[in-house]
Amino acid sequence: MNSFKLPKHLNAGGLLSFLAMMGRPLRDGDVEIDISDLRRVLPASLVSLTAMVDLWRRQGREVRFTGVPECPILSYLQRMDFLSSCRVEMTEAFRRHDSKGRFVPVKNVIHQTDEMAREVAACLAPGGEEFDHPNAGLFDTITYVLTEVGNNIRQHSSGMGYAAAQVHGHEGMIRMAFADNGMGILKSFRMVEADWSMEATDTDAIAKALQPRISCKAGPPNEGVGLTMVSSVVSKMGGALLVVSGTGMAKFFIGGERSFETFPEGSSYQGTLVAMTFPEQAASRFADFLQEAKDDAGILQSVRGRATFEP
């Protein structure tokens, strides 16, 4: 039996230690996860843990959650569809209300990403479908990010992907996260026989993936702009970004500082996690930031995003 007791806080400060704890090699047998103390959790923790649980089940392990009735944020985990995504079914002792403008529960990235992106954007940016609406920039930002990262998950991971998001009104911040349990960035590069990848580390691969014109897609066209453009736009908006894959991680801090690091020895994340936080108000300038990011990367062709077109 592999037993984990989740800490009280799986927020920004505790996310990486949580991933390191859950990413240690498992012994033979099933998995037990105690959530009785859990009090704070963000979308990145929800989607990464959901992806882990799915992976363990596909390995033939039984995964059990304990301490569920005692969990102080049980209703939140239910509203975010985390428990149901992990196949924990129980009666909800509350009435569900419209989540528009507040959060997007855990979703499988399995259908057309363009469609999913518009659904999520409509939830987080109500009314933004209209070009001149105050939420139009936020709608375009969310649609663009979800489409780019979602396509990466579907095209390269060969695993199951999940997405979730939340609006923190009192902070004026949007938090979005995507996780899959597939092959990871480095193996994706090796699958297309990128020369440099054979001697590279997971951290090297993440750094490459954040450069323009570097793609995991075999054959032309080799645009390689998805994660590059997403990271650039988020940074220009004054946001933060985290990319985790295998034993490597990249952190983009608010203010522009970047770091590339490695997990403690013995820990890794199977698949890829992309999490970001950005100010809601900054999204009103999405078109400008996207154009600046394209200029910085020397990209001339059009890139997805309704706000890039003239009215």
Closest to 83 measured CA to CA, from 57, 52, 106, 59: 106
Provide the domain limits for residue 162.
100-308
Confidence of residue 223 (pLDDT cuts 50, 70, 90): very low
Number of structural domains (the chain) is 1
Percent of the chain with pLDDT strictly greater than 90: 65
In a domain, 137, yes or no: yes
In a domain, 206, yes or no: yes
Would you say residue 123 lies in a domain?
yes
Which residue type does 252 have?
F
Task: List C-alpha distances in Å: 85 to 64, 106, 160, 204, 205.
Answer: 13, 7, 12, 32, 30
The pLDDT of residue 157:
73
Q: What is the pTM of this model?
A: 0.89
Q: Which residue has the tokens 């489409």?
A: 147
The pLDDT confidence band at residue 303, using thresholds 50, 70 and 90, is very low
| b/e 39-48 (16+ beta carbons within 10 angstroms → b) | ebbbbbbbbb
Give the HSE-up count for residue 244: Cα atoms under 13 Å, Cβ half-sphere: 27
In this prediction, residue 11 carries a pLDDT of: 82
> What is the secondary structure of 180-244 as a DSSP string?
E-SSHHHHHHHHTT-GGGGG--HHHHHHHHTSTT--SS-SS-----HHHHHHHHHHHTT-EEEEE
| Residue 76, domain member (yes or no) | no
Classify 109 as helix, strand or coil: coil
What pLDDT shows up at residue 97? 81
Q: Give me the CATH number covering residue 114.
A: 3.30.565.10
Query: Would 140 be classed as within a structural domain?
Result: yes
202: region left, alpha or beta (phi > 0 left; psi from -120 to 50 alpha): alpha
Cis before 221? omega within 30: yes
pLDDT at 300 over 80: no
What pLDDT does residue 114 have? 84
User: Quick check: is 270 in a domain?
Assistant: yes
- Is the model's pLDDT at 81 over the cut of 70? yes
- Short-list 202, 205, 230, CA closest to 216: 205
| Residue 87 within a domain | no
- Per-residue pLDDT tens over the stretch 170-198: 788 999 999 999 999 999 899 888 889 99
Confidence band of 141 (pLDDT split at 50, 70, 90):
very high
Higher pLDDT, 118 or 311: 118
How does pLDDT run across 240-251, given as a tens digit for each residue? Answer: 999 999 999 999
Tell me: pLDDT of 285 over 90.
Answer: yes
Q: Does the pLDDT at position 80 exceed 80? A: yes
The pLDDT of residue 222 is above 50 = no
CA angle 46, 52, 57 (to 5 degrees): 125
| Structural domain contains residue 230 | yes
